[in-house]
Structure 1
Amino acid sequence: MIHRRMPSPARLLRSAASLAGLMALGGCNMVVMAPAGDVAVQQRDLIVISTVLMLLIIIPVMALTVFFALRYRAANQCDDYDPDWDHSTTLELVIWSAPLLIIICLGAVTWLSTHLLDPYRPLGRIDHARPIDKAVPPLEVQVVALDWKWLFVYPDLGIATVNELAAPVDRPIRFTITASTVMNSFYVPALAGQIYAMPGMATTLHAVANKPGNYEGFSANYSGAGFSNMRFRFHALDRAGFDRWVAGVKAGGGAMDRPTYLKLERPSEKVPARRFATVDPALFQAIVNMCARPGQRCMSDLMRIDAKGGAGKESARDTRGLRYDGVGDRGALEKEPEEKGSSPHLSKDNDPTPPGKAAPTRTHENRDMTLNTAPTGASLAAERA
């Protein structure tokens, strides 16, 4: 009879940890390290370069930590024991020069990448071997982060989609991004880095897809209860496939007008992909200016009023023409003394004159608050005297 030795608990624990690690790696999505767009590829390279530069310090430090622990342990009676040693110029140069050189390299790489990969900067190439064709305009896509779904508007094509995005391969894409209520973050890992979507303003992202495929996009910024399901599909298609996709949207979609948008804007979760064959051309600008609802004044109008000195009575009555005649719309601090006139806020007579006595002398100066001036040094000295 053969007796098998039972494995120790420590060995079983190590085996279980290794198996769990392999299972976790098997489920990993390495799209960040294997992207489908040139911008994401350059960002991947930046991650690799930065990691390698930092490992040039981390690995020697970890190795030297083990070396010193073994060499100078209490049980090792080595011959070079020197309890009075405290300084080595050579060692100081090595310790400080290596990190300094790595920091300089990291700073140079980061500075260059920050400018070359600026999301607002138009692309200069399709990939490392092909420059941009100036004759091909970028595909314009307007992105709106809603609670909790994504609205994509193609202004040049006159279509819109919800939770579905498509673009042709090797054609630059220009995203203009905003949000309806709270801040979100637009992120397609296979395409480019994330860029924030904020209400009342529009951000920009330039990208390009180099490989056909079906990729995932999502919000990378927590925005409430439905955040975890705020995801969409990005279809990178060849030219013919993209044309068929556009034709399908125009053939089977509805109309994205203001009433439809106001219904879509309401919070909802797990919204399936929807298509709209037509779209209001002024809808996106109305969303950015926070005036998609009827009767709302647009932020651009309010800012134009403020730039002209503030809203006077005439401007307040005319909400669309925003007339400004240059008189009466300036604040009190911007007016000349002769323009201010008398203040209507005069002190009230709370002390009636008793019978048989003459009324006290009251002047306009001590009742008109517009005539109050800060005391000078001479007047203060006279009062003290």
Structure 2
Amino acid sequence: MEQSKNIRKYFLNKTRKVDFEDLLGREPVKLDMKSIGNYIQGRVVMVTGGGGSIGSELCRQIIKFKPKKLIVLDNYENNLYVLQQEFNRNGMYENIDYVIASVRDKCRLDLTFKKYRPELVFHAAAHKHVPLMEENPSEAIKNNVFGTLNVATCADKYKVKRFVMISTDKAVNPTNIMGATKRVCEMIIQSMDKRSETQFVAVRFGNVLGSNGSVVPLFIEQIKNGGPVTVTHKDINRFFMTIPEAAQLVLQAGVFAKGGEIFVLDMDKPVKIYDLARDLIRLSGYIPNKDIKIKFIGLRPGEKLYEEVLTEEEGLNQTAHKKIFVGKPTFDNFDTLMVKINEFKEIVKKEKREEIISKLEEMVPTYKRFKPAIDEVAATKCI
């Protein structure tokens, strides 16, 4: 036990701090901050999930553009407290209100929208962890699907100018429950746009370096503990961006929004997670597979080797920004969607996983439960 503590102390003392931009393998994307400022300045802006890693960065970016008021909404009080203290330290006391509320609570949301009358809404609140949602599908439905529907309904009712939802590349041909629920959220947004004065759009991007759902914090902790660093498969890859890039993409989408679009950031080539692990070990001051071992542990439930950013029918068109692309709307039947979503209410109460998955498969034809082939599952070993 004492030896283990000493080894951990050694690695904690020796490990260098890593700049996440060094892991990208490309130059960070710089967006048109002037145009973003033009549509945020002087407006009432709401961010749901505002205490999370993406939501809080959105708030940091938004406050620079002098909104009339920023409403930071989150159901986790500690996240809001941490962000509030950060803003207070930087002398940002005015024009920011912190609201403890769940997107599941339609009545609380309605009262909040009625009080503040936001003009812009950035919807970042969601359950995002793939393995956890595989084990808790009813919670994914409640938070992602019903939560998004609640916020979108309030936005329509109170005539919000623009509503930007944060989606994920896992919504494209999803192989997991989380991705399938986010695709349903996109369908809600696109169909709402057809019947509302509010401009509803979604922004889809890949993994965010340093966010709560990223592998990087896990790898850093494993390195600090002396390893091994655990990678699910030698060939698995993902698209990556930094937290500021992700937040700026969401804001930029609000500038380009006309309604119903799904915006995608050109993240260049995907990065192999194994290469990311090696780079992170090197940047931390160690030699991969000598000082710190890398261990393959097999694909997790719902996880696939490669992610995509657009479906075939969405197409791909460039916007005024060379790094931002837009897919055309592919779903507009709100009434049909609502019938299916309402059927979910009873299914979710039963907590029956198979019924939930069957309903998701019915709603999202591209959702295929992922069952890794034997040759795709890496052996559990250190290399």
TM-score, length-normalised on structure 1?
Answer: 0.24
Q: Which has the larger radius of gyration?
A: 1
In terms of fraction of residues, the more helix-rich structure is 2
Looking at both structures, which has the greater relative contact order when contacts are Cα pairs under 8 Å and sequence separation is at least 6? 2
